[in-house]
Structure 1
Amino acid sequence: MTSFHAFLVDSAGRSLRSLFAYARDMERATAERYTQLADMLSAHHNDQVAALFKRLADIEWVHVYEVSALCVDMGVPEDVVQSRPTDRLRGAELPDPGELHYLTTPYQAIELAYRGEQRAALFYEDVARTTPDAEVRELAQRFAEEERRHMRELDVWRSRYPPPAADWDDDPDPANEPE
């Protein structure tokens, strides 16, 4: 575990408030990133994958709402759940745009989302394993299982598409790059 990752696990594991703040920030950042990826791919006329990322963004916005609702249900007033600037990792779940190619296939897009959910599940498992707070542990385990459920759903999505061919990124008319 890197020292930055250890810091984040420690920060998120300090209290229910900090774990809720982290979870909400991560889901929000992921929704924003999926929207950004959808826009990027739409600009390259990869409409099928752009639509897939738009759908993923919509799902992540639902997760933001669910985290907020759970926060209130557990008696942690949402208006006091604030991230500190140093805690804004913007999400273990957050996909890296550098992993994306303008010819990305649906299978690869789902694989990218799957890896993000997997990182988030591992993060929450780390929090659950290392926090001394029983309530935080229970919530982190719940969040980890939720991320694992998302992985299972993405497995179903991925099964609908063929893996990419070896030459998936060959483009006889590649996008123009600025000189």
Structure 2
Amino acid sequence: MSESPEVVIDTVGEFLVHALELEEASSDHYDELADSMEIHNNLKVAELFRKLGDYSRQHAKEVHQRTQGVELPTITPWDFKWKCPSSPESFCMDGANYMMTISQAMEIALFNEIRGRDFYQQVADSTPNDEVRKIALEMAEEEGWHVQMLQEWQARLQEEPPLEDLDPPNMPE
């Protein structure tokens, strides 16, 4: 993670390495959450996370295609230029639990998609490289579409009662 308050990425290769890491980490995290929700029989939430993981995998595939013929630098995990401890679409797990509702899952997903969009937009705003700016703006627009989609889904949600825990943890008295 960079200590700099502004993320400046000035080569296409460096940007694509960041984008690949962001999208691959995002799909991995969505899959982990989906697996966890399935184990706890929270299938609606698992389905949402699977769908979002598929979107991230598609983005990673598109980014990978862009890397053809581009020299990609090796970036160590601590040298990525994130403004957060890990990639922008890595999860803030504070609100995650096995009994979360679709609405709560959407809040987590929305938070992370906004961070991804903002990362790409910040790169576009700060880079001196026109090609990096063009690609970053395209990716910010795609992430913006995800944000909008999640907001529309949220607006259609009906209030859900909390899930009943049929097998609560045993706590010694």
Task: Give the TM-score, by structure 1 length.
Answer: 0.79
Q: From the superposition, tell whether residues 107 and 17 of structure 1 become closer, same or farther in structure 2 (CA, over 3 Å).
A: same
Task: Check whether the contact 2:99–2:165 (CA below 8 A) recurs between aligned residues.
Answer: no
Query: Alignment partner for residue 85 of structure 1, among 56, 60, 77?
Result: 77
**1:164: Cα distance to partner?**
4.5
Unaligned residue ranges in structure 1 (runs of 5+) = none
Change (3 A) 1:178 1:33: farther
Provide the alpha-carbon RMSD of the alignment.
Answer: 2.6
Q: Distance in 2 between matches of 1:131 and 1:65?
A: 24
Residue in structure 1 matching 2:145, options 142, 149, 152: 149
Establish whether residue 175 from structure 1 lines up as the match of residue 171 from structure 2. Answer: no
- Normalised by the length of structure 2, the TM-score is 0.82
Asked if the contact 1:25/1:90 (under 8 Å) is kept, the reply is: no
Quick check: 89-98 or 146-155, which moved more? 89-98
Aligned mates of 1:41, 1:124 — CA distance in 2: 29
Query: What residue ranges of structure 2 are gaps of 5+ in the alignment?
Result: none
Counterpart residue identity of residue 154, structure 1: L
| Between structures 1 and 2, the one with greater helix share | 1
Which residue of 1 is the match for residue 92 of structure 2?
A: 96
- CA shift for structure 1 position 134: 1.9
Query: How big is the shift at 1:173?
Result: 4.6
Q: Describe the superposition over 1:106-152 as per-residue Cα deviations: whole angstroms up to 9, x where unpaired.
A: 12212221211111111122112222222222222221111101112
